[in-house]
C-alpha cells in the first residue's frame, strides 16, 4: 500500500479540484466534463505507471484500464444527460462493468455470493420498477444485472471465509459495492424522487470505487514480487 500511495496523489488532487470547483450541472460544458473526468484520467496514469509490459502481461490489469477509459467516456456523456445523452452514458458504464467482471474472473465461482448478489439486484430492480417507463424498463434491468454480476465476481474473489483474501481483492470488493451504491443513488434520484445531497453521495462513492478497483489491478505484480522473494 505504501508503494502505491504516492502514485495516487494526482488522483486525490484531481478529486479535490472537482469538489472545490463544484461546477453547476445546469450549465454543462467541455470544461466541466474535463474536471469531472480528471480523477479518472489520473487513474489511467496510475495504471500506466506500472509499465506497458505489465499491462500487456496481465489481462486483468489491462481490462480494468479499458474499463476506466469507458468510464471517462460515460462521465462525459452524463454531463449532457439532460440533453438526451443519459442512455449513451448508461451504455458506456455497462461496458465498464463487463470489463471489470472479466478482470475479476470466474474463479472461484462461489454460488452463495452469486445468490446473495442476485437477491440484492432483484430487490433494487423491484423497487425501481414502478417508477420506470418506456425503454428504461428494460435498459435499467440489463444494467442492474450487469453491475450485480460484477459485484458477485468481486465478492467471490475475496474468499474471506477461506482466509485467502488479499488487500487487493478486498479493494475490488469494496470498490464494487461502492459502485453499486453510486449507481443506485443515480437511479433513485433520476427515476424515483430527489435524494438529499445526491451529487455528493454519487461522486464520492464513485471516485472511491474507481480508485479501489484500479488498486486491485496491482495484485498480479504483488504475486510476482512474492514469488521472486521466495
Nearest one of 92, 73, 83 to 26, comparing CA atoms = 83
Q: Identify the pLDDT of residue 223.
A: 47
3-state secondary structure of 58: coil
142-200: pLDDT as tens digits: 999 999 999 999 999 987 666 667 889 999 999 999 999 999 999 999 999 999 999 99
72-115: pLDDT as tens digits: 999 999 999 999 999 999 999 999 999 999 999 999 999 999 99
Cell numbers found for residue 170:
478486498
pLDDT, mean over the chain: 92
- Containing domain of residue 99, as a range? 2-227
Whether pLDDT at 28 is above 80: yes
Residues in Cβ contact with 169 at an 8 Å cutoff, skipping those fewer than 6 apart? 157, 158, 159, 216, 219
Q: Calculate mean pLDDT across residues 18-46.
A: 96
Q: Identify the pLDDT of residue 158.
A: 86
Q: Identify the pLDDT of residue 142.
A: 98
Cell numbers found for residue 147:
453491475
Count up the domains in the chain and report the number.
1
Q: Identify the pLDDT of residue 229.
A: 42
Amino acid at each position: 500500500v505504501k508503494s502505491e500511495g504516492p502514485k495516487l496523489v494526482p488522483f486525490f488532487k484531481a478529486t479535490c479540484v472537482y469538489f472545490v470547483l463544484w461546477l453547476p450541472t445546469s450549465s454543462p460544458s467541455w470544461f466541466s466534463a474535463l474536471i469531472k473526468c480528471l480523477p479518472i484520467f489520473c487513474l489511467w496514469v496510475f495504471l500506466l505507471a506500472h509499465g506497458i509490459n505489465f499491462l500487456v502481461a496481465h489481462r486483468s490489469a489491462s481490462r480494468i484500464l479499458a474499463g476506466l477509459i469507458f468510464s471517462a467516456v460515460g462521465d462525459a456523456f452524463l454531463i449532457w444527460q439532460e440533453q438526451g445523452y443519459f442512455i449513451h452514458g448508461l451504455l458506456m458504464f455497462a461496458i465498464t462493468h463487463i470489463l471489470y467482471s472479466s478482470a475479476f474472473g470466474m474463479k472461484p465461482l462461489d454460488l452463495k455470493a452469486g445468490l446473495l448478489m442476485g437477491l440484492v439486484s432483484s430487490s433494487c430492480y423491484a423497487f425501481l420498477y414502478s417508477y420506470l417507463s418506456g425503454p428504461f424498463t428494460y435498459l435499467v434491468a440489463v444494467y442492474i444485472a450487469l453491475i450485480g454480476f460484477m459485484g458477485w465476481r468481486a465478492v467471490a474473489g475475496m474468499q474471506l471465509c477461506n482466509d485467502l483474501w488479499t488487500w487487493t481483492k478486498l479493494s475490488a470488493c469494496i470498490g464494487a459495492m461502492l459502485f453499486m451504491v453510486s449507481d443506485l443513488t443515480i437511479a433513485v434520484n433520476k427515476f424515483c424522487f430527489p435524494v438529499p445531497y445526491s451529487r455528493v453521495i454519487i461522486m464520492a462513492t464513485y471516485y472511491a470505487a474507481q480508485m479501489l478497483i484500479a488498486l486491485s489491478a496491482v495484485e498480479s505484480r504483488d504475486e510476482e514480487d512474492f514469488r521472486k522473494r521466495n
